[in-house]
Amino acid sequence: MRFGTRQTMKNPHAEAEQFRRRAAEGFLIIALALSGLAFGYFRLQVLQHQEYSTRSEANRIKARPIVPARGLIYDRNGKLLADNVPAFRLEITSDKIANLDATLAGLSQLVSITPEELAQFKSTRKAIRSFFPVVLKLRLSEEERARLAVNRYRFPGVDVVPYLTRRYPYGNLFGHVIGYVGRLDVKDLEKLGDSKYSALTHIGKSGIERYYEEKLRGEIGYEEVETNVDGREIRVLKGIPAKPGSDLRLTIDADLQQAMVAAFGDFDGSAVAVDPRTGEILAMVSLPSYDPNLFVNGISFADYKALIDNPSRPLFNRNLQGGGPPGSTIKPFVGLAGLESGLRKPSDRIFSSGEFHIPGQRRGYRDAEAGGVGWVDLKQSIAQSVNTYYYQLAMDMGIQRFDEYLSRYGFGQKTGIDLVGESPGVLPSPEWKRNHSKEPWYLGETVISGIGQGYWVVTALQLAQGVATIADNGVRHRLHLVGAQRQGFDAAWQPEAPMPSVRIADPAHIAAIRDAMVAVVQTGTAHGIGVDAPYQIAGKTGTAQKVGRKGNISLDPHSLPFNLRHQALFISYAPADDPKIAMVVVVEHGGFGASTAAPISRRILDAYLLPKGTAASPVTEPPLPVSKTPDDGEDVTP
Amino acid sequence: MIAWLRDWLIEFLDKVDWPLLLGLCGVMVASLVVQSSAGGGDSHVVIAQGARFVAGVIAMVMISRIPPARLRTWTPLIFACTLALMPLVFVLGSGRSARLWIHLGFFYLQPGELLKLTVPMMLAWYLHSVRLPPGWLALTICATIIGLPVALIVLQPDLGTGMLVAASGAFAVFLAGMAWWRIGLFVGLGLGSLPIAWQFLMPYQKSRILVFLSPESDPLGTGWNIIQSKIAIGSGGWFGKGWGQGTQAHLDFLPEHTTDFAFSVLSEEWGWIGVMTLFALYLFIVGRSLWIAANARDTYSRLLSGALAMTFSIYVLVNGAMIAGLLPVVGVPMPLLSYGGTSAVSLLASFGVIMSVRAHRKFMG
């Protein structure tokens, strides 16, 4: 080994000199190699630039998203309520276009482009990268497609793309149930987050379409496609298949829905029918309705203005967002609260003198029948809708206990139906009043709450849920619209798990209420609809007044401002001994509950319960003894 | 503590080689610009890369304070430690197609990266003590110092890093004055043994080389990468498509466009002018480092800093050639430009060594 002699063998000066030479040589080699590489890049970037630039352009469509077919929507009997039909749309990839304005001007010669379509195109274009295509117009007509095909060479970067569009075959019949899909806009895209959703053209905007958007949409897949300069596909390289959206089977019965609309005739209003044994919604209408097909391809400004300006507010979902005082339809529930709280027995009697006074106060609370009806028990109080019974009961309970029971029956809270935007309504309470006014709670407000007046706001859904609970002996099932789902056409329907249900009252107490509601239709305020029915109906009338009746009753209901209309209500279930349907009908400006809402209810019940064909002999128009008891709870000023 | 740190920093700023530091900063700025485009607006990538640069610069400053003489006395120990990490990779390692990484809880360590620094250190340490130019015995010992770690790296298997480590060692020997006829003999032997080496390659390594020879044969895999990278570079033209406008990167045609193909993004968006600017920066860094090496006070400092400078240039050449389809695809990043932790930190650490050589040139050890 030389280790021992290294100091004598080394020549530092010569080594440094040698290193300098080698470092210079090394640097020269590196500089030469780098020059060679620089030439390589020069060749690619300058000499062959044209070729690679073209290939880069042609490369534009690579990972092409595959949008799965949206899930279909059926009624409970398999009738198709929301369908997909093939159509063609016009797309623009602005990155491929030299002069966008000229292209748009040229295209407007070939297809009709509305200002709304142009505005939407421009706002969407700003939001996403210019390599992605943006829809200019949906649903091209045959003629437009032909014109575009002939002129295609003039418009590079403009594509006619086939797609599936939504169609609602029943038009406005299910507008407030199924809702509609609309154009995916910038806000939707932000909410969805992932840029892959820019491939979607539509998204559920209301109703079932919105609530079940993710289920219906499925999962977007990918396909890697190589294309040439003209944008034509050369080959598919690989892909992740899309997962189709789930089909939904609603609990709605389309025939009953149709019968419900027919039963209303010219009246505005709303109705909800429920299977009391399950909470399934059988039919649900809000009238007037609208045609959801208008929204699918972008509603025109004129159409939209017509819907918005209509005083009857066709876009307003009366069942979900609307509501008002329940009037006397609250009485069965207040009566039930009396039994449940132990303050009343069914046989306890109250004297009706025609006017009720809070001890020590001069102010009088009117009974429906001038002069009163004498001594009444629970059954008579419901059958004849005797206000005094409920003034007294509400006062005896006190507002705290009153609220405790009425909220147990679902008032003042959302039912939890599978739709977005449900209103919770208002259960009158000192707390609610504290939040909305400076005034303290008065005892008189407790008294009128007992007959469904005052601060009450009850939605049709809450009333439907309440009457269904009575019909099922005190068991409440959550209201719902979807009965089953399936993954694709070949798959089996998967029924939804049973909805949560809860017993909210003693069946013995419910029995007394049911007995009284049968009496309403046999001998009471609505006996007109019960006399010739081949099955037994149980029900309760009600009138909710939003404006003083004097002078207004003759006004045309369609011209009366929405917020001033008073409502006739009827809650019912049938057959009374084995209920298969529970229902609420609300008729706007329909006079008294007994005169309009009850006969409309009868026609709907006939359609559902009588064998097909026989229901064609409906109850005739309302020649009903309206004079019997004007069912209302207007308080009298002394 | 604070005062000590301040004095320390002042001394560093006083003795630092400003031209080299500015050159490095130029590349780091270019990296952040390219990453902020390639990351597709994902600021996470830029922040992470910036954090690594900060960590790397701190390592560089600290190492630049260590006198080369002290570094030399520690060298055998440091080399032994990094070599000892290698077997751990086989037990604890992780990685997509090869086990290259050890998870340290807060970040992944790639021992192969450390060897790029410690192999030339060990060679410089050895060659410092022998008479130069090296004779056959010295060359045999050098071959052992290079061969052992390279064999372990290639077994991982990580051919790219193995070749770079071998190159970093070879540069030390080259700078030590190995005779040209001996160099010719070694290169000839290496080329002659390629057919034998082929037998030992992993299937994915073989396929990469085959694909390099005929990219169109594999349009779905690595050939696709090369084709798309060439399209990205070629479509850049003289001046590029502009920052953030590279369709190849943003439409995901370019694979790994933040790491191995980051330079393709730069080529696409900044054109040949951008490429030349980067090449000029790299050449300046290498030239300046070699100049520092040539003026160093002892053999160890000279060989180490010279070998590190030349290794740095190999990164540029190999990555630049690979993404332009002039070399097979090997996992070599563009130095300081590509996104990656261990690489950025270990590169800056190696410049810390060079700066230490610069700072301590006046003293005699």
Find the radius of gyration of the CA atoms of chain A.
35
Which residues in chain A are closer than 8 Å to B306, comparing Cβ atoms?
A: 19, 22-23, 26
Do B230 and A30 lie within an 8 Å CB cutoff? no
Which pLDDT value is given to residue B39? 63
Q: What residue spans define the domains of chain A?
A: 76-245, 254-616
Contact A44 B326 (CB under 8 A): no
Query: According to the model, what pLDDT value does residue A271 have?
Result: 96
Domains identified in chain B, total number: 1
What rounded mean pLDDT belongs to chain A? 84
What is the SS3 assignment for A426?
Answer: strand
Residue B195 lies in a domain: yes
> And the tokens for B75?
């060298």
Residue at B126: amino acid letter: Y
For residue A60, name the pLDDT band (cuts at 50, 70, 90): low
The predicted pLDDT at position A555 comes to 44
Residue A622: pLDDT band (50, 70, 90) is very low
ipTM of this predicted complex? 0.89
CATH 3.30.1490.20 fits A76-245, yes or no: no
pLDDT at A631: 41
**Whether the predicted pLDDT of B145 surpasses 80:** yes
Residue range A140-177, pLDDT digits in tens: 888 888 888 888 888 888 888 888 889 999 999 999 99
B75 found inside a domain:
yes
Give the pLDDT score at A532. 84
Show which of residues 234-293 on chain A sit within 8 Å of chain B, judged by CB atoms: 237-238
- Is the model's pLDDT at A617 over the cut of 50? no
CB contact under 8 A, A44 and B238: no
Contact B220 A237 (CB under 8 A): yes
**Amino acid A548: pLDDT:** 41
Q: Are A472 and A277 in contact (CB under 8 A)?
A: yes
Q: Which residue has the tokens 């917020």?
A: A563
B7: Cα within 13 Å, side-chain hemisphere: 4
Cα gap B177→B132, rounded to integer Å: 7
Average pLDDT of the residues in A385-411:
94
Residue B14 placed within a domain: no
Q: Say if domain A254-616 classifies as CATH 1.10.1030.10.
A: no
Domain-embedded: residue B54: yes
Q: Which two tokens stand for residue B209?
A: 């080389």
Residue of A nearest to B131 (CA): A10
Judge whether B5 lies within some domain: no
Q: Which domain holds residue B332?
A: 22-36+45-359
User: Is A328 considered catalytic here?
Assistant: yes
Identify the weakest region by mean pLDDT among A9-23, A435-449, B96-110, B179-193.
B96-110
Q: Residue B223's pLDDT is what?
A: 67
User: Contact A222/A240 with Cβ under 8 angstroms?
Assistant: yes
Q: Which of A45, A59, A235 to mutate to test the interface with B (most CBs of B within 10 A)?
A: A45
- The active-site residue out of A270, A328, A595, A601 is A328
In a domain, B230, yes or no: yes
A228 touches chain B (CB under 8 A): no
Predicted TM-score (pTM) of this structure: 0.59
Higher pLDDT, B319 or B225: B319
Among A3, A20, A44, A234, the strongest candidate for a mutation testing the B interface, having the largest count of B CBs within 10 A, is A44
Does the residue B202 lie in any domain? yes
Number of C-beta neighbours around residue A162 at 10 A: 8
**Exposure class string for A97-129: b at 16+ Cβ within 10 A, else e:** beeeeebbeebeebbebeeebeebbeebbeeeb
Specify if B4 maps to a domain. Answer: no
Please work out, in degrees rounded to the nearest 5, the angle formed at the alpha carbon of residue A399 by the alpha carbons of A397 and A405. 70
Which of A 397-426 lie inside 8 A of B, CB atoms?
A: none
pLDDT of residue A446: 93
Residue A45: CB atoms within 10 A of its CB come to: 28
Q: Which residue of B has its CA nearest to A43?
A: B234
**A206-259 residue pLDDT tens:** 999 999 999 999 888 877 776 654 445 667 766 778 888 999 999 999 999 999
Tens of pLDDT, residues A339-365? 999 999 999 999 988 888 888 888 888
